[in-house]
Structure 1
Amino acid sequence: MAVQAKMKRAIFLVWLLIVPPGMWFTYKTYPPDFSGRWLELLAFLLLTSVVASMPIIINEMSIFLIQWVSLAVFLSLGIFAEMVLAQIAVIVLLLKIRIQKGESFRLPLNLNMFFLVSFLSGIFYYSLGGQTGPNLMNDPRSLWLAALYGVVSYFLNQVIISIHIRYIYKRNESYFGKEFIVETSTTLVTLPLGLMLYMFYNQVGFLALLIVGIPFISLSIIFNLYYSSQKVNEYLQKAAEIGHQMAERLEVNGVIDLFIQKLSEMLPVDYAYILEVVNEDELHLTRQIEGGTGLTSDIVMIRKNEGISGFVWEKQKGCLYNAKKDWQTFSKGFLPTDAESILAVPIVRNKKAIGVLMLASKRKRAYEKSQLMIVDILCSYFAVAMENAKHYELTKRQSEHCALTKLYNYRYFEKLLSEEFAKLMQFERKVLSLIILDIDHFKAVNDTYGHQSGNEILCELAARLTNLIGSRGTIARYGGEEFVVLLPEAQKEEAYQMAEMIRQAIANWPFTLKQSLDLAQHQVKITASIGVATAPEDAEDSLALIRHADRALYVGAKRAGRNRVAEYSTC
């Protein structure tokens, strides 16, 4: 949860009221003696800076093992020197992890925490009779006081962190998590290490910093490598799970939505763009997501080597940019002005780029190289899932549509009619009307002009029906020259009027034939007979609705002279 602006201002104010006055008070109360020891102070400063610049990052929380150096500094040079070096360590750490502008409050927050830990634990140590520069080798009491100082410092640090989590970050998660275990474990290691550094330093001088410092720095590197590899393994596991989930989706939009959702959960994604290769020579922006919401956008056409996506497409290699200044000079312009970090990966299938994925964040340095690899793997899963979904949709569309007219076919219509009738029976629908039409004397058209011309008439009639009905109902080719229109929530009078409009649209405008037997273009007038029935008024089940509409067609329209609309009547 984001820290509120009011809380951020309070943090800066607390730092202003506590740290500068507290440092001055400490300097006056426990004045340091640096005479002749400036080189010693500089050496500890260098060690502090090196250790602070190598934090362990766990779940976006930085754990830097500075306690052992602070302990040696405190025992050697006193509380004021330890305070100053601890403050410098915080600054070095935050520079290392590169906090964003919106997180600048973390600097005074951590400076406050380290000041309080240094001040309170130091006062506790001195109140028990502890001294600067104790002889730990020959004085067991001094050794125990030094160890107690380290324990109190650790305890105060944990208390303040828990307060931060609960009252500043407003997180109710358990404090005793992975970070607590790691920090406690490292403290158990670093406490004796700090005591050993102090004792070695008293014996051998600056060489002790190398003897103790180099192994510890190596340990920090090993910790970082371990947790980095663990994080990558977690990403790989998530990527495999996401791949299985995408494979289960059978619709293209469902695959894309899941892909973007999971990416946004794994990575800091403010903007996402999917570009598709069209005609082998252009990239088209087909999906645009900003703030988790899909947006419609103007068609953006990009050629190879144009902009970031064109470069990724050409090279079939992902790229990563940490800040806007790195990419803005060659961007194609559809990226938002507040975007900073960019991660772009080719979508490859069978060693061929079929698209490009671009992710953008408002934060600088939001992405890591390891994440580039993970997204590349996810794009491979995505490409396979998209291909499967497209094949499924094509097969489904072919099985549900008439190959000639592109309207729904008999199989799909009967399934839809059963579903709509079920809604009617469950009172989710009030009324359901059905229009069925049959072209008059269609056999004569085929005999005179040929079956190709007959197909032309069927296709043009399908287009006219689609334009007339629009989204008000569903049209299907029911048989050879028979068409049906299903109108949910349309009363019989409304359905009748619609049927009459259809009849006039057929009878009043001739059909153009371009593929007649004599190869000449003809204008042919045709008519249609139409039947209308409505449920529940005329039928109690779906088959009865079809049967009664068909009866109205043949008895009320065909037998009465054709080119007319008839509604079902029990009389």
Structure 2
Amino acid sequence: MFTNENKIRSNAVVFLVVTIMLALLFDKVPTHQMDIYTFLGLLLVTIFAACYPLKYGQMERINIFWIMIPVLYLYGLPMMILYYQLAIFAFLLISRMKLGNFSHYPIYAMVFFVGPLLSYTIITIFGFEFGTMPFLQMLLVNCLFYAIFALFSGVVIMTLNKQVKGLNLVKYKESLFGEVLNSIFFVLLGTALYTNFLMYGKYAVVVALLVYIITVKIYRNYDATLQKSATLENVMEFQVNFNDYETQQQITKEFLQKVILVTGAKQVSIVYETEKHFIFNNAQLEKRFINRFQLNLFQKVFAENKMHYIKKRAYLQMEHLLETDLKTESLLVIPIGQFDQPAMLLLESDALFAFNKVQIEHCKLLVTAYKTALEHKSVIEKTIYKSERCALTNLYNYRYLTERIEEMEIQLVQHKMETISAIILDIDHFKRLNDTYGHENGNSILKEFAAHLQTLVDEQYVLARYGGEEFVILLPNTTSDDALKLAEHYRQVIETLSFQITVLGQQIIKEMEVHVTVSIGVASIPEHTSKLSDLITFADKALYVGAKQAGRNRVAIFK
């Protein structure tokens, strides 16, 4: 990776080499006499065209060959190359807001030196001369010159940028067709400019420049229309398809990727404000923490709850605070709204003035769609949660248990799972507790008992309330011996627990502790059955025959 200092040195070396080569070319290839005013006028038009390039396919393209044609015919090849080199400087200077540095200079400098020289050499070898000739013949020569130049520059730039591998051929053919039409138009414009210049002088340049400006304007408007259409398609696609995402995390990941597509940001994150930190959740769903007292910028943004846009040198405020290799030039923060905690959308780019008004508006549309998607998903998740949970204990209910059993049966048939055990727990003498202390205290004991079970049972197992005071634990990939050990561990821990209840005596309310025990039944596949539908039934029989009838507060396995 080049440092900025290395880039400056390499650019200086390339500039020196190009200057020497250009001087040698002036010495070897004669140039024609020139009028200083014509020279400066054409140079100004060249620089203007370089600073106001074509824009289509979300890229800016320099096309000043239409000016180079009269320069080549009037002043010769060395002056043409000199114009190209000056145009490169002008383009890179104006595009620094997007490139950030002159790292592209060596490629452009060599391409716009070797390319015209190569084209000129090949054409002269075939016996063509660059001078006054019939219009159609001149047009043919110019087309050939530009074709060789464009082919050479295209191959060099694509090779250096490593864009040849994995090229989308359909899109490439469409782009190539557009490039051919574009090239023919500008070669025709340049040939007409030279012909008319000989007759009308500077007026021909003015007319050609107006034609160029109108053409660029049309291209830019068309490109802007395509970008708006593509952006709205992204927004609509996100709005339509958010129901396809199973979790809020998936919605967030898709939202951040859409923001990158719409804005071209190098990095996009959602920033959550907590009591002590700001949490960054980026497009890869990787979280990073930042000390809020070090980050005055985000304190201000969250306090004001409005969009904040730093158009250049944002890294001066963000340096050493964001854990990223990206040198942030532009930074945009957009409020998302209140969820579990305040949230903002953070966009970072290494380009100056990276985000325009249209991109920001489309980004806001995506934010609105994202909020709607999250709200809908939250409602759905809450509905599903309620349908799967017991209202009293907050454990999974019988319905959820049967669904998991069906899933596990499929896994058994597909041999993705070989062993499953089931544990059933029943609170001993629970009816007596209800009759003695009342149903309200009974419910209180059930809730607290369920909470203790949740802490005891590993998350990989399925814990559900089976009904009344019975609870089921499904243990995938667990043998009967391991299930027995776990069941005994549960029994011993529960035996030590105490439950707080409130008892109403003779006009006296008093708090007291009660203790409970459990009887447990265990059954396993394949030791006791090959069918999952029988597993819980066999565990239930072990519970009543082997544990309840044997005196309670014990563990029994199916026999």
Deviation (angstroms), 1:203:
3.8
Equivalent residue number for residue 387 of structure 1: 375
Question: 1:447-481, CA deviations, whole angstroms, 9 ceiling, x for partnerless residues?
Answer: 22222221221122112212222235221111111
Which structure 2 residues correspond to residues 471-482 of structure 1 after superposition, within 5 A?
A: 471-482=459-470
Kindly provide the CA deviation profile for residues 111-166 of structure 1, in whole angstroms up to 9, marking residues without a partner as x.
Answer: 222223322344456664636xx5x5xxxx35455334411221112211342255
Partners in 1 of 2:332 and 2:325 — Cα distance? 16
One of 56, 63, 66 as aligned partner of 1:65 = 63
Kindly indicate whether residue 558 of structure 2 is the aligned counterpart of residue 568 of structure 1. yes
In structure 2, how many angstroms separate the alpha carbons of the residues matched to 1:124 and 1:490?
A: 79
Q: Residues 434-453 of structure 1 correspond to what in structure 2 (within 5 A)? A: 434-453=422-441
What is the match of residue 157 of structure 1? 149
One of 312, 336, 345 as aligned partner of 2:334 = 345
After superposition, residues 494-513 of structure 1 pair within 5 angstroms as 494-513=482-501
CA distance in 2, matches of 1:309, 1:164: 48
Aligned pairs (5 A) from 1:165-180: 167-170=159-162, 171-172=164-165, 173=167, 174=169, 177-180=173-176
Residues 125, 478 of structure 1: alpha-carbon distance in 2 compared, 3 angstrom cutoff: closer
What is the aligned residue count?
544
Aligned to 2:549: 559
**Shift in Å, 1:283:** 11
Does residue 414 in structure 1 map to residue 402 in structure 2?
Answer: yes
Moved more, 246-255 or 12-21: 12-21
The equivalent of 2:26 in structure 1 is: 27
Match of 2:517 in 1: 527
Aligned residues with identical type, % of pairs: 28
Aligned partner of residue 538 in structure 1, secondary structure: coil
What one-letter code is carried by the residue in structure 2 that aligns with 1:555? V
- Measure the CA separation in 2 of the matches of 1:287 and 1:409: 36
Between the aligned partners of 2:504 and 2:352, the Cα distance in structure 1 is 67
Match of 1:81 in 2: 79
1:29-82 CA-to-partner distances (Å, cap 9, x unmatched) read 2333556x2222111110100011111223344322311111111222222221
Contact 1:532–1:549 (CA under 8 A) maintained in structure 2 = yes
CA contact (8 A) 1:348 1:380 kept: no
Say whether 1:244 aligns with 2:234: no
Query: Helix, strand or coil: the match of 1:521?
Result: strand
CA contact (8 A) 1:283 1:310 kept: no
Give yes or no for the alignment of 1:272 onto 2:268.
Answer: yes
Q: How does 1:7-46 map to 2 (within 5 A)?
A: 19-34=18-33, 37-46=35-44
C-alpha separation in 1, matches of 2:365 and 2:413: 49
Look up the equivalent residue of 1:288 and give its one-letter code. Answer: N
How far apart in 1 are the matches of 2:449 and 2:224? 64
Give 1:427's match in structure 2, choosing from 411, 415, 423: 415
Residue 288 (1) aligns with residue 281 (2): yes
Match of 1:206?
Answer: 202
Q: Is this contact kept in 1: 2:119–2:149, CA < 8 A? A: no
Q: Quick one: structure 1 residues 29 and 328, their matched pair in 2 at CA, closer, same or farther if it must change by over 3 Å? A: closer
Q: Which runs of 5+ in 2 are unaligned?
A: none
Alpha-carbon distance between aligned partners in 2 of 1:18 and 1:299, rounded to the nearest angstrom: 47
Structure 1 residue runs of 5 or longer lacking an equivalent are none
Structure 2 Cα separation of the partners of residues 148 and 342 of structure 1: 49
Of 149-158 and 203-212, deviating more is 203-212
Contact 2:331 2:348 in 1 (8 A): yes
User: Would the alpha carbon gap of residues 313 and 143 (structure 1) be closer, same or farther in structure 2, given more than 3 Å must change?
Assistant: farther
DSSP-derived class of the 2:268 partner: strand
| Number of the residue aligned with 1:192 | 188
Q: Does the CA-based 8 Å contact 1:61-1:179 persist in structure 2?
A: no
The answer on whether the counterparts of 1:130 and 1:145 sit within 8 Å (CA) in structure 2 is no
Contact 1:15 1:109 in 2 (8 A): no
- C-alpha separation between the residues in 1 aligned to 2:224 and 2:25? 40
| Counterparts in 2 of 1:14 and 1:392: CA distance versus 1, 3 Å | same
Once residues 246 and 235 of structure 1 are traced to their aligned partners in structure 2, the CA distance between those partners, rounded to angstroms, is 16
**Is 1:543 matched with 2:500?**
no
Other-structure match for 1:463:
451
Structure 2 counterpart of 1:223, from 219, 222, 245: 219
Alignment-mate amino acid for residue 243 of structure 1: Q
1:290-305 alignment, distance < 5 Å: 292-298=283-289
AA matched with 2:208: V
Contact 2:276 2:292 (8 Å CA) reproduced: yes
Counterpart among 118, 121, 126 of residue 120 in structure 1? 118
* Matched letter for residue 28 of structure 1: D
Q: Which of 233, 239, 246 does residue 229 from structure 2 map onto?
A: 233
Where 1:470 maps in the other structure, the secondary structure is coil
| C-alpha separation in 1, matches of 2:17 and 2:437 | 98
Cα distance per residue 1:209-235 (max 9 Å; x no partner): 323323322321222122122222112
The letter of the residue matching 2:110 is: N
Q: How far has the Cα of 1:397 moved from its partner?
A: 0.8
Tell me by how many angstroms 1:241 deviates: 1.4
Give distance in 1, aligned partners of 2:335 and 2:351: 22
Q: 1:394 to 1:309 in 2, by over 3 A?
A: farther
Give 1:366-381 correspondences, 5 Å limit: 366-381=354-369
Query: What residue identity is the alignment partner of 2:31?
Result: P
SS at match of 2:423: strand
Pairwise mapping of residues 392-411 of structure 1 onto structure 2 (< 5 A)? Answer: 392-411=380-399
Q: Separation in 2 of the partners of 1:564 and 1:221?
A: 86
In structure 2, the CA distance between the partners of 1:167 and 1:389, relative to structure 1 (3 Å rule), is same
The structure-2 alpha-carbon separation of the partners of 1:334 and 1:13, relative to structure 1 and needing over 3 Å to count, comes to closer
Q: 1:556–1:566: 8 Å Cα contact kept in structure 2?
A: yes
Q: 1:326 to 1:299 in 2, by over 3 A?
A: closer
For 1:522, give the aligned amino acid. M
Alignment partner, residue 147 of structure 1 = 139
Change (3 A) 1:315 1:457: closer
Conserved 8 A contact 1:322-1:364: yes
Structure 1 Cα separation of the partners of residues 502 and 351 of structure 2: 61
Aligned-pair Cα RMSD in Å: 3.6
Counterpart-to-counterpart distance in 2, 1:26 and 1:143: 28
Structure-2-length-normalised TM-score: 0.86
Aligned counterparts of 2:251 and 2:203: Cα–Cα separation in 1: 61
Q: Which amino acid aligns with 1:484?
A: V
CA contact (8 A) 1:67 1:191 kept: yes
| TM-aligned CA distance change 1:542 to 1:286, over 3 Å | farther
What is the rounded CA distance, in whole Å, between the counterparts of 1:238 and 1:496 in structure 2?
55
Give the match's secondary structure for 1:404. coil
Q: How does 1:318-357 map to 2 (within 5 A)?
A: 319-323=308-312, 325-326=313-314, 328-329=316-317, 333-334=321-322, 336=324, 338-340=326-328, 341-347=330-336, 355-357=343-345
